[in-house]
A and B are shown apart, each in its own frame.
Chain A
């Protein structure tokens, strides 16, 4: 019987038992369905293990909130801008508010033609319109001044063959620009030794100010500028665009929620390794004593006096010059960052970004002390500012130390690391937290094998909402390699654009901006302490009550 029934599906043996056929039919039809049970078991079990192994919400409390930005209001008034300084940074700032040199657009179009994957041109065309008009420009180098005028008229964001709008007025000096009554706000992208002077004059003329960092070149002007901004009530924004980095907002929340334990050491660095990174900028064609207003470049007489007084009284003459200030020099004009006569060195140029980030995240304020060391160890090109620098800041009241280090001749990066008793956090565009193997807070989870100590257990990627679980291997992989971009509502943004947008919106809406004069004052004094510690070779202290830098 069994033998006869084999291969019954062919239907050839009509005489077979009908009930048997029916049973076999059903069996063959549903034969593989029980496998579903096994899969279901696997799925449920996996899910359980995953949840169990990844849930850390009891020891790691963090909101799902994404970074918040001041949103532009519809129907805001157009702001009339004056630009002072159209060098490397001036050009970048203009692009960030929607105005690019036609020749720059040409290179983007050309790049796109060569490589369709190069989307910089489309991104620039699509960058939000900030509702501003450039009414005046000023640069003491004719070539830059002409270029700034053309750029300000490039309202359609086109290349050399495109249409242009009305050209902004070209001013010979910043004073003349500030006297114009068709300008509401100014962008200052002049060299360091001019920042404070121009900012004060602008505020007194009733113009709102966006100034490049650092805030000031000398210590005395720092107090004056703060007073001037407060008295005039203009909206002042210092150019630390890091303020708009989404992950810094999350970092602040993490520290506020005490998820790292007591933070006792912060390590930051800015290491670069190229002539450009070391301020050896190209000498631009067409530059000569006729096209450069050297007298203006020298600086403001009061500022120079403050600088010389400090340097001479502290016996730091060897750091001045070596050229006479009045001697025309293309090197000094284009590479001014290499000489203390105009520069604030690594402290003013790069340390300030790092300090401002830490100050934004932790509100550390001006440190109690600063010690520095370093030297000119690689670029023996006659510069007086060091190319390698270490500065250590102390906040004894917060039981906190911060180590800044920089070299201009190696690009190895250490990241921005906040080291706490329970975990350390590395912050860049993304943010990762690694538990400390001797942590108390996470001890149980570490013991249970839920939180690893050899790799980050938490990763924040802007735009991603999940926070209650241990980072998966995939997320970690991508975050570590910085593959994920910063998106706000699905659109990629440049932080400088956001920083300038915030400034403009605060002017329109009468709100307080993030890198305002109080924050800027802290930035400047911290940098000056680091600089003086280097120059004088001894620790500098901050007298909180007198608000003064004092020697030990």
Chain B
């Protein structure tokens, strides 16, 4: 693939990967290191079509422990994967799923007010969705096969991994 990309294209794609990876990893680490962090307040504030589902989730203390744990570590692992270019495609899929869930919980619809408002002005497309699109781009341009640990993994793992993992 490297031959098909100019140095400029490759560089900017890797920069995009590092930036998104950095963002995920930092978000995840801050949550992991804060024992009091919980997604409960965020979920209670859900709006839109899936509001009730997320609010019910927030009301279930047992479930919330798992939701919090899963969210924290998914953020960390996805961030790490993107940053060092390891299982990059899988990380992209995971990241897109998480971002989709965030969007479902807090869609940027007109006439909806959140208790914890967005810091900008959005209609339908917010930063989560832009990041999601970025991950889509990274999925179809698996740059870690050139710059990243996947460069090594692609040689040692069976080709079945190429499609959705590496």
**A interface with B by C-beta (< 8 Å):** 7, 9-10, 25, 28-33, 35-36, 39, 42-43, 46-47, 50, 116-117, 464-466, 474-475, 477-478, 481, 483-485, 487, 489-490, 492
Q: A32's contact among B3, B44, B148, by CB below 8 Å, is which?
A: B148
Judging by beta carbons under 8 Å apart, are B44 and A29 in contact?
no
Question: What CA separation (Å) do A169 and B61 show in the bound complex?
Answer: 43
Confirm or deny: B73 has a beta carbon within 8 angstroms of a beta carbon on chain A. no
Q: Flag if B2 contacts A7 (CB, 8 Å).
A: yes
B59 and A490 contacting across the interface, CB-CB below 8 Å = yes
Measured in the bound complex, the distance between the Cα atoms of B41 and A30 in whole Å is 39
B25 with A32: CB separation less than 8 A: no
Report yes or no: A29 in contact with B148, Cβ–Cβ below 8 A: yes
A484 to B80 CA separation, bound complex (whole angstroms): 34
Contacts of B18 in A (CB 8 A): 32, 35
Q: Which residues of A contact B21 (CB under 8 A)?
A: 35
B149 at the interface (CB under 8 A from A): yes
Contact between B151 and A29 (Cβ–Cβ < 8 Å)?
Answer: yes
**B59 surroundings in chain A (CB, below 8 A):** 485, 487, 490, 492
Q: How far is the CA of A36 from the CA of B22 in the complex (A)?
A: 8
Q: Do A32 and B41 touch across chains, with their CB atoms under 8 A apart?
A: no
In the complex, A202→B9 CA distance in Å? 87
Closest to B79 in A: A39
Q: Considering the chains assembled together, what is the distance between the CA atoms of A35 and B80 in angstroms?
A: 10
Most buried by B among A7, A31, A492: A31
Contact B51 A117 (CB under 8 A): yes
- Docked Cα-Cα span, A35 to B84, in Å, equals 8
Chain A to chain B contacts (Cβ below 8 Å), 25 pairs? A7-B2, A28-B148, A28-B151, A29-B152, A30-B84, A31-B14, A33-B83, A33-B84, A35-B18, A35-B21, A35-B83, A36-B83, A39-B25, A39-B83, A43-B29, A43-B33, A46-B30, A117-B52, A474-B116, A477-B115, A478-B41, A478-B116, A483-B45, A484-B41, A489-B61
Task: Give the distance to chain A from B64, nearest Cβ to Cβ, in Å.
Answer: 9
Decide if B133 is an interface residue (CB 8 Å cutoff). Answer: no
> Which B31-82 residues have C-beta < 8 A from chain A?
33-34, 36, 41, 44-45, 51-52, 59-62, 80
Inside 8 A of B146's CB, which chain A residues have their CB? 9, 28
| Besides the known contacts A28-B147, A47-B30, A474-B116, 15 further A-B residue pairs in the complex with CB atoms under 8 A apart | A25-B151, A28-B146, A31-B147, A32-B17, A43-B26, A43-B29, A43-B30, A46-B30, A465-B36, A474-B41, A477-B115, A483-B44, A484-B41, A485-B59, A487-B61
Q: Which residues of B contact A30 (CB under 8 A)?
A: 84, 149
Q: Which residue of B lies closest to A481 (CB)?
A: B115
Q: Which chain B positions have C-beta within 8 A of A478?
A: 41, 44-45, 115-116
Task: Find chain B residues with CB under 8 A from A35 CB.
Answer: 18, 21-22, 83
For A26, give the chain B residue with the smallest CB separation. Answer: B152
CA distance A483 to B25 in the complex (A): 29
Of A29, A464, A484, which is within 8 A of B149 by CB? A29
Of chain A, the residue at the smallest CB distance from B85 is A32
State the CA gap A7–B33 with chains docked (Å).
42
B116 and A477 form a contact (CB under 8 A): yes
Q: Which chain A residue shows the least CB distance to B2? A: A9
B118 to chain A, nearest CB (A): 13
- Contact check, B2 vs A10: say whether CB atoms are below 8 A apart: yes
Complex Cα gap A484–B61 (Å): 13
**Chain A proximity of B38: nearest CB distance (Å):** 9
* Contact residue among A10, A50, A117 (Cβ-Cβ distance under 8 Å from B3): A10
Closest to B56 in A: A119
Q: Report A477 CB to chain B, min CB distance, Å.
A: 6
